[in-house]
Amino acid sequence: MNDVFETLESEVRGYSRSWPAEFATASGAVQTTIDGSEYLDFFSGAGALNYGHNNPAVMEPLIDYLQSGAVLHSLDMKTPAKRRFLETFERLILKPRALDYKVMFPGPTGTNTVEAALKLARKVTGRQHILSFTNAFHGMTLGSLSVTGNSMKRQGAGIPLTNASKIPYDDYFDGETTDFLWLERVLADSGSGVDRPAAIIVETVQGEGGLRAARAEWLRGLAELCKRYEVLLIVDDVQAGCGRTGSFFSFEEAGIVPDIVCLSKSISGSGLPMALTLFKPELDVWSPGEHNGTFRGNNPAFVTATAALETFWADDSFQNRVADTSAALHARLGEIADSVEGASVRGRGMLAGLLFEDPAHAERVAGEAYRLGLLVETSGPEDEVVKIMPPLTISSAELQRGLDILTTAVRTVVRSPELATA
């Protein structure tokens, strides 16, 4: 058969190779193929679907908006949809957390907000160098790639990736080295030959780099160090933000206030493209139009984003529910890991992973899970971690059903007879 996905679409395609089904409809945590097969989705659009597929809370306002004749595309012009989003974001997210940030709309993707953050940090400080962490992932454009760890992705740049260096993420040396030993020393030593960086960019949980989660005290140490040496701290919350780790921002648990925050993926609440770069007001040194982009004004995304904030973040009830779901998830993942030699649980909240000693196991578990009707992907430099990322809105029954499938897949792959499904 002449399959246009194979004959016409570029070789660069990825997910459609691991999951060759053609998905036609989706609702909540379930995706249905053109021939009616159902898959439980523990992937959530790589974090763009925290509230599940086609959540009625965001779809109904979107449909009304689309039928109303309202503006869809507006670059950075004023629209009522954008006004409502800004007012709601200030009222429900920034004010209750005492966060004094200006809001910038970069282009609508994760890498767009990272590029804006790096550019702003360089402009504010007048310094060029950026530090980022081992196994970091920040996106595919050149600036974001320069702060990304993965060698295969970096190689794709085709030119030298400059003005950025990597430093060890939390626990990179398995707890054997004092945190920030090298960094502290070279920043204090004017003879170290290490230029003071404009910024340090960090993910609180490394979504693509293997689900390592930084400890709260490590993040506090990093924030303190940045403050002491007047280096800007950028938290890339593109994947870990919007409730994924339990609170709206993933850094809330650590009690730190980054200078710059990158948000995208689930900020629209619907899977529509949208991104924000947040920064302290004194960093707002942009000249008008100095950084721009045609798709900053995606009004349907503003509408769904506002609806998501109003539905899920007006009080603590959603956050409390996510805490319960996340506890149930980690309890079952812990059981699976305990029954497999060398396996362990990684991540925080609903951004979790199962690390296998033999990297081939993770890929095979993901493949077997797909065969049984569950979408999970792998993460990490060797694809050694099965990444578990259900919608935050998943029901308890669906969560357990997905974890049953995962348990069966793990048992099949590692032949661990003691792994029983619930």
Ligand X SMILES: Cc1ncc(COP(=O)(O)O)c(C=O)c1O
* Residues within the interface to ligand X (CB under 6 A): 46, 109-111, 114, 137-139, 203, 207-208, 236, 238-239, 264
Q: Closest distance between ligand X and the C-beta of residue 156, in Å?
A: 14
Q: Judged by CB, which is closer to ligand X: 150, or 412?
A: 150
**In residues, how long is the chain?**
422
Q: Which residue is nearest to ligand X (CB)?
A: 110
The values of phi and psi at residue 307, to 5°, are -60, -40
Q: For residue 139, what is the DSSP state?
A: -
Q: Judged by CB, which is closer to ligand X: 268, or 407?
A: 268
> Do residues 118 and 111 touch, judged by C-beta distance below 8 A?
no
Q: Closest distance between ligand X and the C-beta of residue 140, in Å?
A: 6
Instruction: Give ∠ CA 169-171-173 in degrees, rounded to 5.
Output: 100
The number of helix segments (H) and strand segments (E) in the chain equals 14, 15
Q: Judged by CB, which is closer to ligand X: 265, or 411?
A: 265
Q: Judged by CB, which is closer to ligand X: 259, or 398?
A: 259
> Do residues 376 and 369 touch, judged by C-beta distance below 8 A?
yes
Q: Judged by CB, which is closer to ligand X: 113, or 306?
A: 113
Instruction: Output the DSSP codes for 193-240.
Output: --PPPSEEEE-SB-TTTT--B--HHHHHHHHHHHHHTT-EEEEE-TTT
Q: Closest distance between ligand X and the C-beta of residue 113, in Å?
A: 8
Separation between Cα atoms, residue 113 and residue 120, nearest integer Å: 10
Q: Closest distance between ligand X and the C-beta of residue 265, in Å?
A: 6
Q: Closest distance between ligand X and the C-beta of residue 348, in Å?
A: 14
Q: Judged by CB, which is closer to ligand X: 27, or 134?
A: 134
**What number of other Cβ atoms are within 10 A of residue 302's Cβ?**
27
Instruction: Give ∠ CA 200-203-207 in degrees, rounded to 5.
Output: 150
Q: Closest distance between ligand X and the C-beta of residue 109, in Å?
A: 4
